[in-house]
């Protein structure tokens, strides 16, 4: 961690510690996306519910848009206790050493959200969250964003259209392999850097659900977008373990209930937010939208089939098999 971030982390950790018993317990909830997204709105909903349920004994400060920390730094800050709560995308847990989370990045793997929710809401989901504990984190919930689109400054209809493009990815080996299989060069960048990297030509294209695309104004710097639904993007809400276990039990259970309610809310609004964002991109007239045809999708799948097979070994064959049984694939 850079000295500045370390210093900031220490100051925030110190400031979050209640000096007197009657002072509210502070939860800093840091995230990297805009407030007007599924995650941004759900974080605000959690704040409302948590403050209400604890009658003001807990205060939640939501910090959107990487205003405190960017992707990797926010996880480090959580481990240090400088912030108490985050909801990183599932693709960002692998660099912590929990590569099983990369199963969510497998291309064309989850047929729909119902199948996904059977996994995240069942024993596999619980087991994945438990794997975060040795890292100093407690996983509280899974929140949806949605299925991803691909964008660039040229039409992306067939795998050959990716040839030679530099595509921004999150830090996941599966996403790296996915872009290479399509003929592109993947480049890991923090979310907060993507717009500028697209604008300056550091990268040519990217992938994300429409809500993240639109709220970062990517329509200003990407002339083509393909609704490919080739992969899923969701979140795990995590808290600092020491902080969570140190809470008075009554407060903790009130926060757990607030989180259950915020999760229902997140998973209810996500699809609508993405539909609305796609409409807004279309209405901007700046980005041409292409809906992948069945035949085009077949060609994408064929190009990516070997990647899935190869990445299964990295993620863990037993886990992948268990999930396949759960989703009937
Ligand atoms: C990204 O980095 O592309 C996204 O995961 C950002 C987010 O948190 O939705």
CA 127–ligand 1 middle distance (angstroms): 23
Quickly state the pLDDT bin for 329 (edges 50, 70, 90): confident
The response to whether residue 212 sits with its C-beta less than 6 Å from ligand 1 reads yes
pLDDT tens per residue, range 60-118: 999 999 999 999 999 999 999 999 999 999 999 999 999 999 999 999 999 999 999 99
Instruction: Give the C-alpha separation, 69 to 82, whole Å.
Output: 10
Residues in the chain: 329
pLDDT at 215 over 60: yes
Closest CA to 148 of 187, 109, 122, 121: 109
Nearest CA to ligand 1 atom 2: 191
167 lines ligand 1 (CB under 6 A): no
Which atom from ligand 1 is nearest to the alpha carbon of 207? 3
- Rounded to an integer, the average pLDDT of 310-324 is 94
| Local confidence band at 19 (pLDDT 50, 70, 90 cut-offs) | very low
Average pLDDT over residues 304-327: 94
At 2, the pLDDT band (50, 70, 90 cuts) reads: low
Pick from 74, 89, 197 the residue to mutate for probing ligand 1's pocket: most ligand atoms within 8 Å of its CB: 89
pTM of the model: 0.93
Please write the tens of the pLDDT for every residue from 152-199: 999 999 999 999 999 999 999 999 999 999 999 999 999 999 999 999
User: Which among 283, 263, 216 has a CA at the least distance from the CA of 38?
Assistant: 263
Residues near 127 by beta carbon (within 8 Å), at least 6 away in sequence: none
């Amino acid at each position: 961690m850079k000295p500045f971030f370390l210093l900031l982390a220490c100051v925030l950790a110190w400031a979050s510690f209640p000096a007197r018993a009657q002072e509210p317990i502070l939860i800093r909830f840091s995230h990297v996306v805009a407030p007007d997204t599924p995650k941004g709105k759900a974080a605000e909903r959690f704040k409302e519910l948590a403050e209400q349920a604890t009658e003001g004994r807990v205060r939640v400060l939501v910090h959107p848009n990487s205003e405190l920390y960017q992707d990797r730094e926010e996880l480090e800050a959580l481990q240090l206790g400088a912030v108490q709560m985050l909801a990183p995308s599932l693709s960002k847990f692998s660099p912590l050493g929990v590569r099983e989370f990369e199963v969510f990045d497998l291309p064309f793997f989850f047929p729909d959200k119902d199948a996904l929710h059977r996994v995240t809401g069942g024993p596999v989901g619980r087991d994945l969250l438990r794997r975060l504990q040795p890292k100093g984190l407690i996983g509280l919930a899974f929140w949806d964003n949605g299925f991803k689109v691909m964008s660039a400054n040229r039409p992306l209809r067939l795998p050959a259209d990716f040839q030679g493009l530099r595509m921004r990815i999150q830090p996941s080996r599966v996403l790296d392999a996915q872009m290479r299989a399509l003929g592109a060069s993947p480049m890991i960048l923090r979310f907060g850097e993507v717009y500028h990297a697209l604008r300056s030509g550091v990268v040519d294209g990217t992938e994300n659900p429409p809500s993240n695309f639109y709220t970062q104004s990517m329509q200003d710097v990407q002339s083509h977008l393909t609704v490919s639904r080739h992969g899923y993007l969701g979140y795990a809400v995590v808290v600092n373990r020491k902080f969570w276990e140190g809470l008075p039990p009554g407060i903790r259970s009130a926060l757990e209930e607030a989180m259950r309610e915020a999760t229902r809310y997140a998973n209810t609004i996500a699809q609508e937010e993405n539909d609305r964002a796609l409409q807004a991109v279309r209405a901007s007239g700046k980005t041409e939208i292409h809906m992948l045809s069945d035949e085009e999708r077949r060609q994408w799948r064929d190009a990516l089939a070997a990647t899935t097979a190869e990445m299964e070994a990295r993620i863990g064959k037993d886990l992948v098999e268990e999930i396949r049984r759960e989703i009937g694939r």
